[in-house]
């Protein structure tokens, strides 16, 4: 195998993102054939060289895995939690290779996450996350008025800047209604804050779609391999940096499945 930059090797092995891998190198935690390496331009052959992080051998994954995971409510979307709460590693420990989630979801939310051991794919997906539509089912403690729906679609001011245009549709008219919302940007707690802007509190929040990948019939705690068509569609989406967010939302709306809300 040809020589590759160390940070790329570490990302491919699922050790860390490229940026974090660079931090590991600068901190002197990476060695190649017994020699500590601190130069960011350093290269190695992952098949011939002995690469270690904190003294542990780095091995590239034998098989690349791409998974759709249903994160349950009350679980952190990481592979470890210092507070001892349930985490994704509890669900994925029986897999033949270590995978890690692409992106995060808050503890009180549930639904679709993508997990993989392909570091290059994960980084591309993260870099394109603000262009890829994500769809949610949201239960709130009160109806939005027509004017509030219009403002929601056009974007609301949060932390000094307006959110991008969103799609929102009422699914169930009730004292505690369900809405279907599609966003192309999801800042921390964004949906909860958007509803809070109109005096509504989110009671339940479930992500059901990321780009072409749908939650489908998965139950909380379950996962499945991405279908070949889903993976191909995702890769194609990542290759189109100039595509508009509005166009992506329209494409998503044509392919979505309503699903049953609860």
Active site residues: 106
3-class secondary structure, 121: helix
H or E element in which residue 89 lies: helix 88-92
Q: How far is it, in rounded angstroms, from Cα 75 to Cα 185? A: 22
- Asked whether the beta carbons of 179 and 138 are under 8 A apart, the reply is yes
**136-175: buried (b, 16+ CB within 10 Å) or exposed (e) per residue?**
bbbbbeebbeeebbebbeeebeeeeeebebbbbeeeeeee
The answer to whether 70 and 219 are in contact (CB under 8 A) is yes
Q: Of all residues in the chain, what percent are helix, strand and coil, respectively (each to 5)?
A: 25, 25, 45
Q: First vs last Cα of the chain: how many Å apart?
A: 50
């Amino acid at each position: 195998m040809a020589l590759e930059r160390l940070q790329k090797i570490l990302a491919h092995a699922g050790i860390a993102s490229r940026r974090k891998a660079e931090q590991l190198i600068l901190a002197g935690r990476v060695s190649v054939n017994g020699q500590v390496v601190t130069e960011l331009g350093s290269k190695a052959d992952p098949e011939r060289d002995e690469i270690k992080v904190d003294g542990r051998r780095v091995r590239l994954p034998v098989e690349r895995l791409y998974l759709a995971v249903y994160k349950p409510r009350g679980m952190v979307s990481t592979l470890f939690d210092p507070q001892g709460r349930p985490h994704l590693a509890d669900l994925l420990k029986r897999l033949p290779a270590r995978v890690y989630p692409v992106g995060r979801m808050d503890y009180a939310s549930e639904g679709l996450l993508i997990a993989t051991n392909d570091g290059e794919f994960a980084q591309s997906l993260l870099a394109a996350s603000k262009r890829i539509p994500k769809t949610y089912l949201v239960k709130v403690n009160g109806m939005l008025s027509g004017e509030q729906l219009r403002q929601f679609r056009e974007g609301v001011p949060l932390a000094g800047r307006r959110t991008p245009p969103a799609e929102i549709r009422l699914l169930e008219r009730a004292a505690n209604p369900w809405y279907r919302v599609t966003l192309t940007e999801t800042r921390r707690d964004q949906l909860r804050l958007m509803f809070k802007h109109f005096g509504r509190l989110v009671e339940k929040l479930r992500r059901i779609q990321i780009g072409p990948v749908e939650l489908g019939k998965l139950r909380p705690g379950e996962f499945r391999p991405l279908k070949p068509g889903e993976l191909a569609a995702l890769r194609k989406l990542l290759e189109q940096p100039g595509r508009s967010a509005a166009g992506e939302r329209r494409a998503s709306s044509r392919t979505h499945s309503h699903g049953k809300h609860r």
